[in-house]
Structure 1
Amino acid sequence: MLENKNVLLCVTGGIAAYKAAALTSKLIQKKANVKVLMTESAQQFVTPLTFQSLARDRVYVDTFREEDPSVISHIDVADWADVAIVAPATANVIGKLANGIADDMVTTTLLATRAEAFIAPAMNVHMYEHPAVKRNMDTLQQDGYRFIEPGEGFLACGYEGKGRMSEPEEIVEHLSNHFLCVENPVWQNKKVLITAGPTHEHADPVRVLTNPSTGKMGYAIAREAARRGAQVTLVSGPTQLPDPSGVNVIRVTSANDMYEQVLKHYESSNVVIKAAAVSDFRPKNVQEQKVKKEQGSETIQLERTSDILAELGKQKNGQFLVGFAAESTDVLAYAREKLQRKNLDLIVANDVSKSNRGFAADMNEVTLIGPKQFEKNISLAHKEKVAESLLDQVAHLQWGGVK
C-alpha cells in the first residue's frame, strides 16, 4: 500500500530520533518515496547525513535554505506529500502545532500541507500526562491530526510508563492502513461486531465445559476489519490472545455473558460476524464449591444455552449477518441448512476434522455460502489471509465493494 506514496517524515528533538532512521529504512523498503525534515534539536541526536543516506534525497533543515529558486521549499514539499508523519513528536512540537506556531522547517511545512498528518509522540511519562500536553493533543485531534499512541515501558530518562514512541513497524502499518482506507473506503466507519474464542460453562469453581477454540480466526477478522477503517467491537470468550490494535474488546466468560453483550451492540452494527465457538450446553446446577473426586461415576445434568445466532437472525434489521459452521462431516450440507434456518446472509463452512486447520491452528480452509447458490472456496491459507478474503466477499455482497 505504500509503493510510490510520498511520505513526509518530520523528525524532532528526542532520543527516539534514532527510531526515525529505522522508520525511514522500512518505508524505503516498502518502496515509498520519503523526504525527511529535521528540527535543529533533532540534529543533536542524529545527523542529517544519516537520513540522506537512507532516503537517498536531501534532508530539509532550514526554512530559508532555498536550493531551487523556482520553488519555495516548504510549500513545494508540503504539496508533494501524500501523507505526513511526525516521529518522534516532542511535547514542544505538539504545543507549537496546536497553537499554529511556525518557526522552523517542520512546523512551517506542516501548517502548509493538505496531506493527512500523523503524530507519534515520544516523551517522559510525566510530560505525556501533563494537562497542557493533553490539551494540545486534544486540539490537534480536533484539527484533524491523527495520533499513533506511544507504548509503555522503560524510558531513556529512567522512568517506566507511557511515552515510548511506537515501533517503526507499527508506524508503517498505520500508514499502510491509511492508504488502504483511502483506496478502498467501503469499510470506513462501518460498525462491525465480531465474536471470537470459546465460552466456559462452569460446573464448579474449577471445572468448565468448553471447546478447543483459541479465538485466532475471530481475532484475525477483527484486526483486518479495523485495518480497513471499520469501528470494530470484539466480544471475546476466554483466550490467551492480546487485544487487537484499534479494536474495542469486551471479554466475557459464558455463553450467557456473550449473549448479553452481543444483543447490547447488535442494533447499532452494520456487519456482525459470529466466529465464536459458543457452548451449546451448560451444567444445569453449578456447585459453589469444588466437587471432590469420589469413587464411582458422576453425572452432570446439562441444559441448553441461548442460541445467539438464531436470535440475531430473528431480530435482523438491515445488519449483514455472518455465521460459522464448524463441522466434521457433511460440512457443506449442514452449513447450507444452518444458513436458511438462522436467517443468515453468509455462512462460513469450516471443516474442523483436520489437524492442520480450524481449531487452534494458524491455518484455515473454508467455504463461503450465501443465498442464490453463492459459494466460494477459500483454499488453505493463514487465518489472516482468510480474514482478508472473507471481508472482501462481505463488502462485495453488501455494498458492491471489492470481490
Structure 2
Amino acid sequence: MSVHVDSTLGPYDVHIGRGVLNRLPDLVGDAMRVAVIHPEPLTMLARTVAAQLDRQITMIPVPDAEAAKTAEVLTRCWDTLAGAGFTRSDLVIGIGGGTTTDLAGFVAASWLRGVGYISIPTSVLAMVDAAVGGKTGINLGAGKNLVGAFYEPLAVLCDLSLLDTLPERDVRAGMAEVIKCGFIADTGILELAREDLTDAADTTSDRFAELVTRAVQVKATVVAADFRESTSQGANVGREALNYGHTLGHAIEAHAGYTWRHGDAISVGMAWCSRVSRQLLGLDHETVVMHDDLLGGLGLPLRYEQSAWADLRRIMSLDKKARGATLRIVGITEFGKPVIIDGPDEGALEAAYRELS
C-alpha cells in the first residue's frame, strides 16, 4: 500500500506494508554518500539497512528517545557529515522512532541548506505522525520542537514487520495519534477501532494495517492543503487540526522531563480537549465519553498530576500555536469538525483539567 503526499515542496510516497524496506535501494538514486542516523539500540537494524546499499556509508548513532533531539546531538551530526565530506548530492536516512526521524530530517534540512532524506520509521507513532508531513526539529529546555524546519523526505518506508518486536506499551502509545485522526477527520478510524480494540493494537492484523494507512492518509491530505501550518482561523482549520490534544500533551512532556511517551501525553491532552470543547463549543457528552472509552480501552492514560496545572499552563504559553500572549488550542464541535479556539476562557481550561484529575 502507498499513500501519496502531494506536497508543495515536492510530492513523495509513503509505502506501508510488510517488506517495503526492500524498496530502499531503488530510492537512493545517484547519491554517492549516505548517512544513516539511528538510535544506539537499533544499531543492528541500521547495519542491515546499510548493507543493502552499494554506497559510501556513514553511520551516526544517536541517543534513544527525546535525548536525541538536542542542539548538542545536532551539532555532532553536522560535524560527522563535514568530516565525511557530504555534498548536496548526498543523502541522509533516518531510522527509528519519531525523535530520530525529527532529528534526522532536521539534519538533512539544515546541512548545506538541504540534502536528500529518506525516513524509515520503526514505531507506530513515527509511522503515522512524525515521519509524514515534513516537520523536523529539536527540543529546548523551554519546550518541545521549538527549533526546526519544514522539510519533506524523498520517501517514507513504513515496514510493518519492524513493529513485531516493539513493546506493547509503545504500540498503544502510537495508537493515540491514530485515534486522533479519527476524531479530527476520519470517523471510519473510530468505528474500525471500536469493533475490536485488541485487534486494532495487534501489529500483525489487517485491521491494524488499515488503521495505519487511514491515519497516514489523513495526515497526507491535511498537510498537502496547508504545508506550513498557516491557514487556520476559527472553523477553517488547516494543518493545526493535527495538533488536537497536543497543546496540553506537549506541556506534560516538558513538565515530566520527557519521561512520558508522546502518545501517553497526547491521550491526556485529547481527553482534556474534549472537555474544553464540551464547555466552550457545545461538544456532546457522548463524544467526550467516547474519548475516554477508546483511549482508556487501549490502555492509554487519561490524567496527569492533579497539582501540576499552574506549571502546565505556563508551559502552554510557549506553544507554537500561540499568537503573542494569546493561547490557541484545537477543539472539536463534533466528529471530524476541528475548530481553533483563540484566547479560551481560563476558568474553562482549568475546570476541564480538574475534572480529569
User: Which has the larger share of strand?
Assistant: 1
Q: TM-score, normalised by structure 2?
A: 0.29
Q: Which has the higher helix share?
A: 2
Find the structure with the greater CA-based Rg: 1
Q: Which has the higher contact order (CA 8 A, sep 6+)?
A: 2
